[in-house]
Amino acid sequence: MTPAIAVQQLGKHYGSLVALDNIDLVIQPGEFFALLGPNGAGKTTLISILAGLTRASHGTASVMGYDVLSDYREARKRLGVVPQELVYDPFFTVRETLVIQSGYFGLKRNDDWIDEILQHLDLAEKAHVNVRALSGGMKRRLLIAQALVHKPPVIILDEPTAGVDVDLRQSLWQFIQQLNAQGHTIVLTTHYLEEAEALCNRVAVLKQGKIVALDSMHHLVHNTRGYTLELRLSSENVPADLQMWPCRQEGYVCSLKITHGAEIETILSILRKHEIQVLDMQLLQPDLESVFMKLMEADSANIV
């Protein structure tokens, strides 16, 4: 099967700064893929190279089998990118913007699809409003509509829900999930890790231009050993014997990293010995956020 996205030994340098460091990545058609990483990890650089906006320093990248450099037009036709930054032309209405965008891809009669996108993104009522009169969230919806106008098989969303209200978030994800169910490949970057965990089947985590984790979402989250035991205590003086567990304390709340449930009894008996009462207790399962934090804390040398 031709991969939706294939990237080989891809590198990008800005002077002495290495934004992407020999990335290898294959995303198959139909995947809902999360591309995660802290600010400056290289996500937007990778997306810009795929969209033909930035030239890689070395390596290759292709979309649906078309090289993003030597076969730029074919690759670009198959890709829809929702950029992170709000860029728009203030002189046109919403509908005009989408008609013009269709024209870039040689699509003349695209009205039915434009209507459908406007409907799904709750922009139908704004179709004849000038873009400069839209709110920030609505401008973002328009950016999403622009990325979808040519029905690309591969859709990359770079932080699509930044500054977007809860209602739109939900309707947007429903729409994107529907597109994914119809076979579109979705690549998502987001700092909302719960969103990525709920939506994506596979995930790559970038850190300082390198891929530090590449796995199925389920495997990545559930293979992380251990739990967090969160205790609200009657005293702020946490006994020294508890320090054998990695511990984070904020006032009366103490969070301990444990490996087995059986350790809870030992912890409680230590607290009893020191006459410290447990006022509240929660056992937290690992989630994408805790896995992500662990990856970010780990030494960059421990890279997969």
Give the interface with ligand ATP as residue ranges (CB under 6 A). 14, 17, 19, 37, 39-45, 84
Q: Which C-beta is closer to ligand ATP: that of 122 or that of 195?
A: 195
- Taking the least distance from each CB to ligand ATP, the nearer of 55 and 219 is 55
Whole-angstrom Cα distance, residue 23 to residue 6? 10
Residue 54, sorted as left (phi over 0), alpha (psi -120 to 50) or beta, turns out to be beta
Which ranges of the chain would DSSP assign to H, the alpha helix? 43-50, 72-77, 94-104, 111-120, 136-148, 166-181, 193-199, 217-222, 263-273, 288-297
21 neighbors 27 (Cβ within 8 angstroms): no
| Structure token pair of residue 248 | 């984070």
Please tell me the distance from the alpha carbon of residue 103 to that of residue 112, in angstroms, as a whole number: 15
DSSP string, 163-185: T--HHHHHHHHHHHHHHHHTT-E
Which stretch of DSSP H or E encloses residue 258?
A: strand 253-258
Q: Which residue is nearest to ligand ATP (CB)?
A: 44
Work out how close the CB of 187 gets to ligand ATP at its nearest, in angstroms, rounded to a whole number. 13
Residue placing its CB nearer to ligand ATP in the complex, 78 or 210: 210
Nearer to ligand ATP, 17 or 301 (CB): 17
Which residue lies nearer to ligand ATP by CB, 84 or 249? 84
As measured in angstroms, the least distance from the Cβ of 191 to ligand ATP is 7
Q: Which C-beta is closer to ligand ATP: that of 53 or that of 278? A: 53
Residue among 206 and 267 whose Cβ is closer to ligand ATP = 206
What minimum distance in Å lies between the beta carbon of 48 and ligand ATP? 7
Shortest Cβ 134–ligand ATP spacing (Å): 23
Q: What b/e sequence results for 198-230 when a residue is b if at least 16 CB atoms lie within 10 Å of its CB, and e otherwise?
A: ebbebbbbbbbbbbbbeeebeebbeebebbbbe
Nearer to ligand ATP, 275 or 297 (CB): 297
Burial of 301 (0-12, 13-18, 19+ CB in 10 A): exposed
Residue reference for tokens 């106008």: 149
| Single-letter amino acid, residue 168 | L
Distance CA 183, CA 228 (A): 38
* Min dist. Cβ of residue 56 to ligand ATP (A): 12
- Smallest separation (angstroms) from ligand ATP to the CB of 292: 13
In the bound complex, what is the minimum distance in angstroms from residue 159's beta carbon to ligand ATP?
Answer: 7
β-strand pairing of 227-233 with 278-284:
antiparallel
Shortest spacing between CB 161 and ligand ATP, in angstroms: 14
**Which of 134, 151, 51, 136 minimizes the C-alpha distance to 96?**
134
